[in-house]
Amino acid sequence: MNADDFFELHSIEEINKKTKISPISLRFIKNKEFDKLPRVKFVGFIRLIEKKYKVDLNELIKEYEGYFHHSDDKNNKKSDNIQKNKSDKIKEKRSCLWILILIIFVLTSFLYFKFFNKNNTKDELIVEANKTTVVNNVTENGSEKNNSENNNKTNENIVGGINSSIVNNETNISNTIKYNTSSVKIEKNIIKEYNITILPNEMVWFRALNIDNNKSVEYLTSKPKILKGNYYIKFGHGNITVLYDDKNITPNTKKIVRILFKNGKYEYLKKPNEYEK
């Protein structure tokens, strides 16, 4: 029996009374308004209907998956475009930095050769003056030589400062490239978190302890509840259905049930245990 035939045979009011699923959610399922219900709730409701009416509605779940698979393809294309734009921006930044380095190098070379040629010219003039000057000018030539040495030291300090700025710029470029690369890697890291969907078949009390942060919540309800993370849950009875990862858990007992849900795996526990003394 397909979904259309099923909803023709059974009214929303009838299904609501038998499964306790809200009329609004049933209307979304009947009209195939898949974007109105999250996957966990949708699959949970379908499994509950199948259990109560002994029917197979897997075809409806496949339609749901197909609908969102098409949407995911569109989202993947958008994500690829975003990644491409980020890569282009990184390349532009690198190009600008290399151009800046080239400009600094050319400017440094120009200043160096300018001062070097200026000092050579002064030395040549001093030598010519010494050839034609009397002995009394020796002292003056000595002072000229000292001035030339001071100029050389000044030029060396200027060139040293410029070379230091080049080293600092190259360090900044390396740090910028490393930062951009690490940012792209961080965006790709995704931590998987498992959902625990609790579908009571009747009114049930339960207490859930989050074993990651040691916080607990407590409910008395007949409506579906969804918890995210690793939990230790104590149920007042086992007349429930729990959807966890790809597992369908049905204790089917009137006794108290204790279940540990951790990293996609579950385990029935007894009292006492490390979570309940």
* Residue range 42-88, pLDDT digits in tens: 999 999 999 999 999 899 899 999 988 866 555 555 666 667 677 77
CA distance 42 to 24: 12
**Are 150 and 209 within one domain?**
no
Instruction: Give the end of a domain, one of 157, 188, 219.
Output: 188
Instruction: Give the end of a domain, one of 135, 161, 188.
Output: 188
Q: Of 197, 249, 199, which Cα lies nearest the Cα of 19?
A: 199
Range(s) of the domain holding residue 263: 195-268
**Are 202 and 161 within one domain?**
no
**Is 176 a domain residue?**
yes
Helix axis angle for 39-53 and 23-30, nearest 10°, is 90
Q: Are strands 257-262 and 265-268 parallel, antiparallel or unpaired?
A: antiparallel
**Is 110 a domain residue?**
yes
**Is 161 a domain residue?**
yes
Cis omega (within 30 of 0) for bond into 251: no
**Are 117 and 182 within one domain?**
yes
State percent of the chain over pLDDT 90.
42
Name the 3-class secondary structure at 216.
strand
**Is 235 a domain residue?**
yes
**Is 20 a domain residue?**
yes
**Are 220 and 179 within one domain?**
no
Task: Return the minimum-mean-pLDDT range out of 12-21, 88-97, 136-145, 205-214.
Answer: 136-145
**Are 122 and 179 within one domain?**
yes
Burial label, 149 (beta-carbon count in 10 A; 0-12, 13-18, 19+): exposed
Provide the domain count of the chain.
Answer: 3
**Are 125 and 171 within one domain?**
yes
The secondary structure element, H or E, covering residue 240 is: strand 240-244
**Is 69 a domain residue?**
no
CA distance 162 to 209: 63
**Are 183 and 107 within one domain?**
yes
Instruction: Give the end of a domain, one of 136, 157, 188.
Output: 188
- 186 falls in which pLDDT band (50, 70, 90)? very low
**Is 80 a domain residue?**
no
Contact status, residue 130 vs residue 141, Cβ threshold 8 Å: yes
CA distance 207 to 195: 16
CA distance 250 to 231: 17
